[in-house]
Amino acid sequence: MSRLRSDPGSNPHENEFVSGYPARICDHVPGNKYLCCNCNNVLKKAQQTLCGHRYCSPCLSWIVRNHKTPICPKCEEDPGSLTEDSYLTEDKAFSDTAINKEISELKVHCVTSGCQWSGVLGEYEKHNCEKTLSKDPNSRKSNIPTKSKNNQPDTMDCRFAPLGCIYRGSRDQIRDHEGLAAASHVSLVLPVLLQIQSARPAAAVKENGFCDYNGDGHKLPASIRNGESVDEEMATDCGSHNGGVTGPHLISRICALESRIQVAENIIMVMNREIDSSNVKRATALEESNEERGRVRACETKIADLRCTIAKKDMEINRLQVHLASLEQTSYDGIFLWKISDLTRKCQDAREGRTISLYSPAFYTAKYGYKVRLRVYLNGDGAGKGTHISLFFTVMRGEYDVLLPWPFKHKVTFMLLDQSNREHVIDAFRPDTTSISFQKPAADMNIASGCPLFCPLSKLHAIRNNYVVDETMFIRCIIDAN
């Protein structure tokens, strides 16, 4: 099996951590967002999947390459979160530029024994660590460490070099490297596993060509049972290093890995069935949810109709209440007492033009008589504007107008009551029978007629007078019905 080699002067850290960087190289404990969801190391060439999790680029490649149905391990921890995006493919993942930039700025230090280098992670693989460099360019010709002239150990290859690992270092460094790069070494073993697996059908046809290996149920070629290697070059390379793994032992480990892969495939099969069952339940739940939403929309429509009906009824109730209040104040004997409260505010509204006049409730000269009302200008009107209260009398269209004599001829008397009963303000007039104001109404009410100079404002608000008490004044109208 061919393998890659670097020049003697190449960077010794280039393949030190094939997958992620161990957290121990960081000066401070890195946050979870910087850790790979597979190897749990600091991300190296971070890739983000559609399900939102991050992996080292080598880890993601290993997961996709070694699983028939690669599922995000992080999503598998919570089966309820599994979606279509949990199935991993390299073409659907993208380089997470932002997180790679943050990781490159993490404060780190060299993990090589005796090296004092520190800096940011982006510079880690570029630093020249003298503790790991070989001073003898010919030392790569042998994998067995020897003593140089200065009594320092030469470098040697990683024991997984026959499978493609390019790391070199001293014996101690090799031991540390193999502990840190276990995940990457497994990815190098995988092609050998696949080669052996593909060779099984051909070997199976040979009579008595299989035997149980170590009693674990795995059938292996008889040549392996006798200590022979399926791939002689691989077995030779694997056993050529000091303390290396021999061919049969490697096959044993591969069989164990195959067993684990089969267990993982069985788990994935069970999970797929669970996912299918969950999808059915989800579809049923969605259908029920849609039905519930339909019922809710129907109820909302009914509620809207009821609110509209209630609003109409409220308007009718308000109209009836106004009418009832008007009836309670209605007089049928030609004598009407008008109570005007909150006088200060109403006078202010009149001065500022917001409400220049007020109408009294309607009243009658008799039970079936004329319908009339009063109109007052609290800041005056016409000749009395700004100086007097102006008070007018208005004939309205009534229910019995066809039975009444026209024009209206009855004497009208106005009174502003002194609430101490000392001096009332009194004014009276007789209708001008030629005026349109006293003819039979053609509209809701005729033009008002009365007294524009009814009461001076100075007199109304004089302290000695009691025309206004507690913001209230009273106006009485008397119609002589005889």
Low-confidence ranges of the chain (pLDDT < 70): 1-18, 129-153, 164, 183, 195, 197-248
- pLDDT reported for residue 198: 66
Can you name the residues that pair with 220 across neighbouring β-strands?
211
Cα 236 from chain centre: 60
- pLDDT reported for residue 14: 42
233-270: pLDDT as tens digits: 444 444 444 444 455 677 777 888 888 888 888 888 88
Angle at 201 between CA 195 and CA 206, to 5 degrees: 120
- pLDDT reported for residue 299: 94
DSSP label at residue 134:
-
- pLDDT reported for residue 95: 86
- Domain spans in the chain, listed from the N-terminal domain onward: 23-247, 335-479
Query: Is CATH 1.20.1050.10 what the domain over 335-479 is classified as, yes or no?
Result: no
Q: Is 52 left (phi over 0), alpha (psi -120 to 50) or beta?
A: left
Select from 369, 371, 473 the least CA-distant residue to 420: 473
Can you name the residues that pair with 210 across neighbouring β-strands?
221
The domain defined by 23-247 folds into: Herpes Virus-1 (3.30.40)
Here the tokens at position 335 are 């004598």
- pLDDT reported for residue 248: 63
- pLDDT reported for residue 6: 34
- pLDDT reported for residue 197: 67
Here the tokens at position 210 are 């299989």
- pLDDT reported for residue 17: 62
- pLDDT reported for residue 246: 53
- pLDDT reported for residue 362: 92
CA torsion, points 62, 67, 69, 71, in degrees to nearest 10? Answer: -50
- pLDDT reported for residue 218: 45
- pLDDT reported for residue 71: 85
- pLDDT reported for residue 50: 87
**Dist. CA 442–CA 352, nearest whole Å:** 33
- pLDDT reported for residue 2: 30
